[in-house]
Chains A and B, each alone.
Chain A
Amino acid sequence: MGLLEGRMEDSFLVTNLEHAINWARESSLWPMTFGLACCAIEMMATGAPRYDIDRFGAGAFRATPRQADLMIVAGTVNLKMAERVRRLYNQMPDPKFVIAMGACTCGGGPYYKYGYNVAKGVDLVVPVDVYVPGCPPRPEALLEGLMRIQDKIHKMRDLTKGQPDEMPIPTRTGSVLLPPELSDPEKAVEFLKENKERAKPVKA
């Protein structure tokens, strides 16, 4: 909101102007293609004709962060990828929103216990607005997530109250107590060998 942020008093004109600006913003949320794993398939399904995200105005998936205002993190976020997620989030222009789609982004998902390379939840990396649980969430669930973001935008009062300057910092550390099988290097090697034995096909 640059010059006018938080500077105007509540009045008929300002309220309606805010309403108009919010309506324009929520009806044209352009997502950034951030399909990392299986949730990307469901995101593609949401973009396809049957569940059609384009009727919400969010059909223009941009490949570059510079033209996107919504980042749908769809898929497991590895530690290697987390750096890139953060950098791309930084390069998006304001106002920006993040949907954490799928169990992996909500809190590590199925990789919470043994996934040593997975960031346990993307909210450790970027500030998330809406969490969409599911493994993978159905397209209708993603659409509900999008509608929650639209509600959030509807409640924005940029001209009268402005936006906070600081970005939220995660309150949890994301370090996971490893299960007893993996707590020592020797035990970990034992565990791997046991797994390999169990994975061998049974001779009929």
Chain B
Amino acid sequence: MTSLVLFLLIFIAAGLTLLAANLVLGWFIRPDKPSAAKAEVYECGEQPVGPAWVQFDLRFYVVALLFVIFDVELAFFFPWAVVFGSATRAADEEPQHAAQRIEAAKNLQPQETPTESTPTPPPAAAAKQLAWIAFADILVFFGVLLVGFAYLWRRGDLEWVRSTAAQPEHTSVSAGETHATQPVPVGHTL
């Protein structure tokens, strides 16, 4: 264990040294002539107008949040797919796929069970039932998230540009009122 820690420490030290050496060498060697004209904000040669710091656009946060949620959902799909694949393969009744069936059944068992010396193909009906239950499970999971997705879409969170001018003329009164009362200059608010 200590050898691993030492290994990591040496690696980190080497990385930091290389970084620091370059920066320190640069600090000694590079010219240092600061002036007010040089430090002026760059605006393609013009006299700079307004501050250089712009307000963070909240739409990026919304997009990132949605991405994280659906990415986690996708991450949950992967182990499900493994189990479902094994279950379908275990339920396959064709004789030439017997070896595959035994392999799949072994995958479905918890890891610590001892393997038999002469494996027999598992009952296909049980595996098929497992497959169907797994399918129903994922449909429920996906359905819940799909409802959430539909809500987002309807609410307009997927639109990059939201402006009152772009609203359709025939929205219902309540929706129209909600949109009209929100201040929506293009591009700077949710």
* Residues of A that sit less than 8 Å from B by CB: 1-5, 21, 64-66, 83-85, 87-88, 90-95, 158, 163, 165
B19 in the interface (beta carbon within 8 A) = no
Interface string of B32-53 (1 = CB under 8 A from A): 1101011010101111000000
Contacts of B33 in A (CB 8 A): 94, 165
A21 adjacent to B31 (CB under 8 Å)? no
**Of B2-10, B22-30, B149-157, the one with at least 4 CB within 8 A of chain A:** B22-30
A93 adjacent to B38 (CB under 8 Å)? yes
* Residues of B that sit less than 8 Å from A by CB: 27-33, 35, 37-38, 40, 42, 44-47
**A5 CA to B27 CA in the complex, in Å?**
11
Contacts of B46 in A (CB 8 A): 84, 87
- CB of B32 to closest CB in A, whole Å: 4
With contact pairs A87-B45, A90-B35 given, residues A4 and B40 touching in the complex (Cβ less than 8 Å): no
Instruction: Please list 24 pairs of residues, one from A and one from B, whose beta carbons are closer than 8 Å in the complex, sorted by A's number.
Output: A1-B30, A2-B27, A2-B32, A3-B27, A3-B28, A3-B32, A5-B31, A64-B42, A66-B42, A84-B45, A84-B46, A87-B37, A87-B45, A87-B47, A90-B35, A90-B37, A90-B40, A91-B37, A91-B38, A91-B40, A91-B42, A92-B38, A93-B38, A158-B31
B29 adjacent to A87 (CB under 8 Å)? no
- CB of B39 to closest CB in A, whole Å: 8
Residue of A nearest to B46 (CB): A84
Contacts of A92 in B (CB 8 A): 38
B45 adjacent to A85 (CB under 8 Å)? yes
Contacts of A84 in B (CB 8 A): 44-46
- Which of B27, B30, B35, B47 has most A Cβ within 10 Å? B30
**A94 CA to B35 CA in the complex, in Å?**
11
With contact pairs A90-B35, A91-B37 given, residues A21 and B29 touching in the complex (Cβ less than 8 Å): yes
**A159 CA to B154 CA in the complex, in Å?**
67
With contact pairs A65-B42, A66-B42 given, residues A1 and B29 touching in the complex (Cβ less than 8 Å): yes
**A95 CA to B32 CA in the complex, in Å?**
10
**A94 CA to B65 CA in the complex, in Å?**
43
